Amino acid sequence: MRRLPSIVLLATLVILGTVPAEYAQSSEIFLYDGVSTIKLTDGPSTHMHPKINDSGWVVWYGSDGSDNEIFLYDGSAVIQLTDNSRNDILPEINDAGWVVWQGCDSGVGYFCDGGDSEIFLYDGISTTKLTDNNYNDRWPQINDNGYVVWDGGGIWLYDGSTSSELADSGALPQINDNNWVCWYASDGSEPEIFLYDGSGITQITDNSFSDIAPEINDDGWMVWYGGDIDHYEIFLYDGSVITQLTDNDYTDYNPKINNNGWVVWEGWVVSGNSEIFLYDGTSTTELTNPGNDYRPRINDNGWVVWYGYEGLASDVLLYDGTGISRLTDVTGYSEEVPDINNSGYVVWSGEIPSESYTATANAEASVYGIDSLTGSGIFNEMILLLIPVGGVILLRILRRNR
């Protein structure tokens, strides 16, 4: 009999920026190759969540008119990897072009609410269903060895031949190319950070506040944000010592780390003003100010990409170590959720802002039993934080209208 985790759901869902392309009526996928930008899709459906590998291959999910399917660009053509009645979402790609994703047999939303989601793996030739059970498997990640990790109530690892449960509770696992896995889970009081190094599990943090959403590089260094529901700071673990990178009176969150130990994150410097920060192993630089800048990603060269707002629309911006370039500048067209590879190629999703945001955001909110996420005006941004408190999941929504 499967063991039930001590906390039914331990997860943090952060949706940052405007209501992203995921909520638009129509959005497209764009790729910048260091010289020019090409559009990989051509409507009228919605395409979102693009990810890019070091070969410049891109994966995303998009609507086929009835549900979401997985699409792959292999450098020359777009291939539709799935064609079924499932809702296939959240793909990830490794440098070999292998793709993993979450497929909802029924239900709605990222949590496949009211249904059952499974994990699927495409190895360049065929697709394998890695899970087949009556509970939700979600948030898959894949490394360059083809190992896959996911949240299936507990933390699960597929090593190319078999799947094993590393822990019976936890959320948002990440894996590096040495097959080390990190995640966060409750220790009975607060969420803490855990690390599997191929032989055993170590609890990295043990404190009186929440430690959430760790990321890991190939040296086993980790970064995460920790604090209480109103205030978070950024922490870095270098394999032996934990260093607090930030110490201020505002919330820092969404950190990412590269293989040199450089870290990038967002900080809500003042209400309504999110900025991008970069730690280069020695000091921290605020890359943006002023503005509304979100969702940074960093490559191993220290290049950083994010999206930022000026007025009602957003653009994709790139820091190349010396200066910031605006990769997009189309009036009334929002460019969001970028990703970057080690060659400096950037992929993102872009859509035309619409009043339909209000309706679609509220539809998504209803998944979580919320009447409305929007007040007067056009919905600007929301953060959904699912915080475990004494075994009870509290949903906090922070929002702003334009």
Res 371 pLDDT > 50: no
Burial of 81 (0-12, 13-18, 19+ CB in 10 A): middle
Q: Is the pLDDT of residue 139 over 90?
A: yes
Task: Kindly list the distances between the CA atom of residue 36 and the CA atoms of 42, 52, 336, 381, in Å, as whole numbers in the listed order.
Answer: 17, 16, 18, 30
Q: Render 247-270 in DSSP notation, one character per residue.
A: -SSSEEEEEEE-TTS-EEEEEEEE
Res 305 pLDDT > 50:
yes
Residue 6, domain member (yes or no): no
End-to-end CA distance of the chain: 51
Average pLDDT over residues 228-232: 83
Residue 12 lies in a domain: no
Distance CA 153, CA 158 (A): 15
Report yes or no on 117 lying in a domain.
yes
The 3-state secondary structure of 101-168, one letter per residue? EEEECCCECCCCECCCEEEEEECCCCEEECCCCCCCCEEEEECCCCCEEEEECEEEEECCCCEEEEEC
- The answer as to whether 357 is a domain residue is yes
Q: Report whether pLDDT(17) > 70.
A: no
Is 115's pLDDT higher than 90? no
Helix (H, G, I), strand (E, B) or coil at 193: strand
**Contact (CB, 8 A) for 391 and 6:** yes
Give pLDDT tens digits for 265-301: 999 987 668 999 999 999 999 999 877 999 999 999 9
Q: By C-alpha distance, which of 171, 141, 172 is closest to 158?
A: 141
Domain of residue 326, CATH code: 2.130.10.150
237, 245 in Cβ contact below 8 A?
no
At residue 401, the pLDDT reads 31
Domain that holds residue 123: 21-401
Task: Report yes or no on 388 lying in a domain.
Answer: yes
Task: Quote the pLDDT of residue 20.
Answer: 41
The answer to whether 400 and 378 are in contact (CB under 8 A) is: no
pLDDT score of 124 = 97
Ranking 59-68, 217-226, 227-236, 359-368 by mean pLDDT, the lowest is 359-368
Could you tell me which residue, 8 or 173, shows the higher pLDDT? 173
Q: For residue 241, is it within any domain?
A: yes
Domain contains 10? no
Tally of structural domains, the chain:
1
Residues 6+ apart with CB under 8 A from 320: 303, 344
Does residue 189 lie in a domain region?
Answer: yes
pTM of the model as a whole? 0.84
Kindly state the percentage of the chain with pLDDT values over 90: 66
Q: Are 319 and 297 in contact (CB under 8 A)?
A: no
Residue 6: its pLDDT value, please? 31
